[in-house]
Chains A and B, each alone.
Chain A
Amino acid sequence: MTASALVLMLSAWSVVTFGAGWCLWRILDR
Chain B
Amino acid sequence: MTTPMKRERWGTRIGLVLAMAGNAVGLGNFLRFPRLAAEYGGGAFIIPYLVALVLLGIPLMWLEWAMGRYGGQFGHSTTPGMLQRMWRSPLAKYVGSLGISLPLLFAVYYTYVESWTLAYACFSVTGEFEAETAATSAAAGDVGVETAALPGAASNQFLRDYQGITPPEERRFFTTLVPAISFWLIAVGLNCWIIARGISGGIERLAKVAMPALFLFAIVLAVRVLTYGTPDPLHPERSVWVGLNYVWQPQLRALADFEVWLVAAGQIFFTLSIGTGTIQCYASYLRRRDDCALTGLTTAATNEFAEVVLGGTIAIPMAVATFGLVATQTIAAQGSFNLGFVAMPVIFHQMPAGQLFATLWFLLLFFAGITSSVAMCQPLVAFLQDEFRLSRRVAAGVCCGAMLGLGLPIVLCFETGYMDQYDFWVGTFGLVICALAEVLIFGWAFGKRRMWAELRRGAEIRIPRLVVPVIRYVVPVYLSILLAGWMMQELGDAVLMKGVPPEHRPYLWLARATMAGVIVGTVALVGIAWRRRANAAATSNEEAAR
Contact = CB atoms under 8 A, between A and B. Distances in A.
Interface string A1-30: 110111011001100110110111011101
**Which of A4, A12, A24 has the most C-beta atoms of chain B within 10 angstroms of its own C-beta?**
A12
B301 A19 contact: yes
Interface in B207-251: 241-242, 244-245, 247-250
Contacts of B46: 8, 12
A26 B294 contact: yes
B91 interface: no
B43 A1 contact: no
B305 A17 contact: yes
Contact of A4 (B17, B249, B295, B301): B249
A1 B242 contact: yes
Given A5-B42, A16-B304, A17-B305, A23 B298 contact: yes
A24 B332 CA distance: 34
Contacts of A27: 13-14, 17, 294-295, 298
Contact of A30 (B302, B304, B305, B460): B460
Interface string B283-305: 00000000000110110011011
A26 B461 contact: yes
A13 to B, nearest CB: 5
Contact of A24 (B244, B245, B298): B298
A9 B43 contact: yes
Interface string B241-274: 1101101111000000000000000000000000
A5 to B, nearest CB: 4
Contacts of B244: 1, 5, 9
Q: Could you say which interface size class chain B belongs to?
A: 20 to 34
Contacts of B14: 27-28
B466 to A, nearest CB: 18
Contacts of A16: 301, 304-305, 308-309
B251 to A, nearest CB: 10
Contacts of A12: 46, 50, 248, 308
Nearest to A19: B301
A17 B313 CA distance: 14
Contacts of B309: 13, 16-17
Interface in B302-351: 302, 304-305, 308-309, 312
Contacts, number: 71
A10 to B, nearest CB: 9
A12 B362 CA distance: 26
A8 B127 CA distance: 39
Contact of A2 (B17, B247, B249): B249
Contacts of B297: 23
B315 to A, nearest CB: 15
Contact of A5 (B43, B302, B460, B461): B43
Contacts of B304: 16, 19-20
A17 B302 CA distance: 8
A4 B308 CA distance: 17
Contact of B43 (A4, A17, A19, A20): A4
A13 B244 CA distance: 13
A9 B14 CA distance: 29
A8 B46 CA distance: 9
Contacts of A28: 14
Contact of B301 (A2, A9, A23, A30): A23
A5 B301 contact: no
Given A26-B461, A27-B295, A20 B305 contact: yes
Contacts of A17: 305, 309
Interface in B3-43: 13-14, 17, 42-43
Nearest to A24: B298
Given A8-B248, A8-B250, A20-B298, A13 B308 contact: yes
A19 B298 CA distance: 8
8 contacts: A8-B248, A16-B304, A16-B309, A22-B301, A26-B294, A26-B461, A27-B294, A30-B13
Given A9-B312, A23-B302, A27-B13, 9 more contacts: A1-B241, A4-B249, A8-B250, A12-B46, A16-B301, A19-B304, A20-B304, A26-B460, A26-B461
Interface of B: 13-14, 17, 42-43, 46, 50, 241-242, 244-245, 247-250, 294-295, 297-298, 301-302, 304-305, 308-309, 312, 460-461
Interface of A: 1-2, 4-6, 8-9, 12-13, 16-17, 19-20, 22-24, 26-28, 30
